[in-house]
């Protein structure tokens, strides 16, 4: 049975309660009138709930990226794209507030990394001459979504993706890394949940971003993860190491022309050295941290050959 969005039911019920105020009911049972109204509310919210699942990236996806790609280099061959074809939702109020916040608390290196991650994800596929151009404000999809997983492209909200990218490394900010004994990804996800709701994100959207942030270092092979959780893993790994332990020829997932334009638009500022040092610092002051789960992660970041031309 589809789970009902209880907050939506509550709001609608409060509106309808005035209509039903003269109906006398047992405290333990619903009258047929209330049952009928409740059924109508359920049916009207059921589709909305399912829409939120896809829109905010909750769709269940294999945790093992290798199981998704198998032995293939990619599912669909990526084509070269100009960064001018890519869209960032600067028009969205929550994104504007979040970007301002990120500019304040994140290191410049981290903010540029976050923007690269967004664009690695937000790449439309190569279009044939017969295809219509994208409509304004339409989801242009994630590289990895539109080119590799087109079934998700028309549903996933680019705002949710942008919020996730902007705050995925919030836990590494100077004021956060030493503010707690918690691992940076877990604490960052909790902080992101708080600030996104303060900025006006819906509860479901904020929670989707927070879950993806909390699990973005959780690169296992068993079980499942949310779609946006898998996507943030793929996009951050692409920028951080250029290597994926479970995906063959991972560097070819984004076309070399597009990769170059993204790195030129959002300079790396010696990101490999900077972030490798951040991971080493966390493991030094928090030897129990989640980053230790990724054995040799700091070295893989430092030795990133795919992104070396822009370091």
CA gap 31, 39 in Å, rounded: 12
62 falls within a domain:
yes
pTM of the complete model: 0.79
288 falls within a domain:
yes
72 falls within a domain:
yes
25 falls within a domain:
no
276 falls within a domain:
yes
Domain membership of residue 194 as a residue range: 56-310
Helices 203-214 and 184-198 pack at an angle, to 10 degrees, of 170
pLDDT at 14: 45
User: Which residue is associated with the tokens 């333990």?
Assistant: 28
pLDDT at 140: 30
Q: Is 218 exposed, middle or buried (0-12, 13-18, 19+ CB in 10 A)?
A: middle
60 falls within a domain:
yes
pLDDT at 41: 46
pLDDT at 44: 44
CB 49 within 8 A of CB 4: yes
**Alpha-carbon separation of residue 166 from 155, 156, 189 (angstroms):** 20, 17, 12
Cβ contacts of 21 within 8 Å, gap of 6 or more = none
CA gap 165, 159 in Å, rounded: 10
248 falls within a domain:
yes
Per-residue pLDDT of the chain (311 residues; tens, 9 = 90+): 334 454 444 444 444 444 334 434 444 444 555 555 544 444 444 455 677 898 999 999 999 988 887 776 555 565 666 677 667 899 999 999 999 999 999 999 999 999 999 988 765 433 333 333 323 333 333 455 555 555 555 678 989 999 999 999 999 999 999 999 999 999 999 999 999 999 999 999 999 999 999 999 998 889 999 999 999 999 999 999 999 999 888 888 888 988 999 999 999 999 999 999 999 999 999 999 999 999 999 999 999 999 999 99
Q: Which residues of 184-212 are buried (b: 16+ CB within 10 A; e: fewer)?
A: bbbbbbebbbebbbebebbebbbbbbbbb
46 falls within a domain:
no
Cβ contacts of 223 within 8 Å, gap of 6 or more = 63
CA gap 196, 205 in Å, rounded: 9
Total tally of structural domains belonging to the chain = 1
CA gap 59, 152 in Å, rounded: 9
């Amino acid at each position: 049975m589809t789970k009902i969005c209880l907050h939506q039911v509550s709001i609608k019920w409060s509106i309808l309660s005035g209509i039903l105020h003269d109906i006398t009911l047992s405290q333990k049972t619903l009258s047929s009138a209330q049952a009928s109204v409740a059924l109508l509310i359920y049916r009207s919210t059921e589709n909305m709930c399912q829409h939120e699942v896809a829109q905010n990236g909750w769709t269940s996806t294999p945790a093992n990226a290798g199981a998704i790609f198998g032995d293939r280099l990619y599912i669909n061959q990526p084509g070269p794209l100009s960064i001018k074809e890519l869209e960032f939702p600067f028009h969205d109020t929550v994104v504007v507030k979040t970007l301002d916040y990120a500019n304040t608390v994140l290191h410049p290196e981290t903010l540029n990394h976050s923007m690269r991650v967004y664009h690695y994800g937000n790449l439309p596929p190569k279009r044939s001459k017969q295809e219509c151009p994208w409509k304004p404000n339409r989801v242009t999809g994630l590289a990895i979504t539109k080119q590799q997983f087109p079934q998700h492209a028309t549903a996933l909200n680019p705002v949710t993706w942008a919020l996730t990218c902007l705050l995925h490394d919030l836990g590494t900010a100077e004021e956060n890394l030493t503010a707690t004994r918690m691992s940076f990804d877990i604490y960052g996800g909790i902080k992101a949940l708080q600030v996104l709701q303060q900025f006006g994100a819906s509860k479901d959207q904020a929670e989707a971003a927070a879950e993806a942030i909390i699990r973005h270092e959780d690169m296992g092979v068993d079980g499942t993860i949310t779609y946006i959780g898998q996507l943030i893993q793929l996009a951050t790994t692409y920028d951080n190491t250029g290597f994926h332990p479970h995906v063959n020829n991972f560097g070819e997932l984004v076309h070399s022309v597009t990769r170059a334009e993204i790195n030129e638009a959002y300079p790396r500022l010696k990101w490999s050295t900077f972030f490798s040092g951040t991971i080493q610092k966390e493991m030094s002051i928090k030897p129990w941290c989640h980053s230790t789960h990724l054995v040799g992660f700091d070295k893989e970041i430092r030795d990133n050959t795919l992104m070396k031309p822009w370091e």
